[in-house]
A and B are shown apart, each in its own frame.
Chain A
Amino acid sequence: MAEKSGMHMEYDINKEDFNSAGEASSKVKKTLNMLGVDNKVIKRVAIAMYEAEINAFIHGGGGMAVADIYTDKIVIEISDHGKGIENLELAMQEGYSTASEEIRMMGFGAGMGLPNIKKNVDELDIRTGPGEGTDLKMTFKLN
């Protein structure tokens, strides 16, 4: 059984406030820094969580970010009640993106989010479907 080191964080991902996109990831990163977690792990968490958080903003219409830090792992869950992912296999391919022109003009929508997430997590559990929202559970092991 994983022992809890008493760290549980929850953040709103408010789609009206796109300027704050990435803030949940930033806060979790700072906490991991403070706790002295290995820099390489922090970098992986930061990349994966940021991509998932941005997806919840631009594709999912906002949602929630939850982070739990245990002694042996970090679990991050990003969920939204948006339109869900129709074809997950396609969405996981590098370069595939349904992002609007406006979003692309801002430097998002490279179609690298989900592939980057996959590369950086130890375990990935995605629950999604048309009209079902999207829920990404990412686990990072700590030695």
Chain B
Amino acid sequence: MKLSELVKEMDLNVVTGEIARDCDISGVYMCDLLSRVMSRASEDGIWITVMAHVNIVAVAELVNLACIMVPEGIAVQQETIEKAKEENITIVSTGLTGYEAACRLHDLLD
């Protein structure tokens, strides 16, 4: 499934304004430890994290993630949004918890 389709299906809020790279989603990884994400998240994957500070952008860029997904409606710092736009990284947010979002993703991505 393409990121754009997923945004529609899950009614996600694209906090960076638009989808920077509309790729086919390869998988999902949920973790807040940046070292784990660096080594375990896959290219074109979705990363679910409650971290919303600017340093998450470099991690997403280095791993070539499809997008960062912030759950529970957590506010993303303006600085993070600006940096993500600069680096062509998409950040989406949802009101669901990380677990709920992962369950939805499991159903949608099979």
Query: Which residues from chain A sit less than 8 Å from chain B, CB to CB?
Result: 18-19, 21-23, 25-26, 29, 39, 43, 46-47, 50-51, 54, 106-108, 110, 112-113, 116, 119
Which A residues are in CB contact (< 8 Å) with B51? 106-107
By Cβ-Cβ distance, the 3 closest A-B pairs, closest first, are: A22-B58, A112-B35, A110-B33
Interface size range of chain B in the complex: 20 to 34
B12 contacts chain A at the CB level, 8 A cutoff:
no
- B2 adjacent to chain A (CB < 8 Å): no
* A116, B83: Cβ atoms closer than 8 Å: no
Residues of B within 8 A of A116 (CB): 35, 38-39
Chain A residues with Cβ below 8 Å from B33 are: 107, 110, 112
A-B contact count (CB 8 A): 64
CA–CA, A15 and B34, complex, Å = 18
Distance between Cα atoms of A107 and B58 in the complex (Å): 13
The answer to whether the Cβ of B62 comes within 8 Å of any Cβ in the partner chain is yes
Residues of B within 8 A of A108 (CB): 34-35, 55
Contact at B35–A110, with CB atoms within 8 Å? Answer: yes
At the interface, yes or no: B11 with Cβ under 8 Å from chain A? no
With A21-B58, A23-B58, A116-B35 as known contacts, state yes or no: A106 contacts B53, CB within 8 Å: yes
List, in ascending order, chain B residues with CB within 8 A of A46's CB. 38, 62-63
Residues of chain B having any CB pair with chain A under 8 Å: 32-36, 38-39, 43, 49, 51, 53-56, 58-59, 61-63, 79, 83, 87
**In the complex where A46-B62, A50-B62 touch, is A22 in contact with B35 (Cβ < 8 A)?**
no
Contact residues in B for A110 (Cβ distance below 8 Å): 33-36
List chain B residues, Cβ under 8 A from A50: 38, 58-59, 62
Give CA–CA (A21, B54) in the complex, Å: 9
Check A29 against B62 for contact (C-beta < 8 Å).
yes
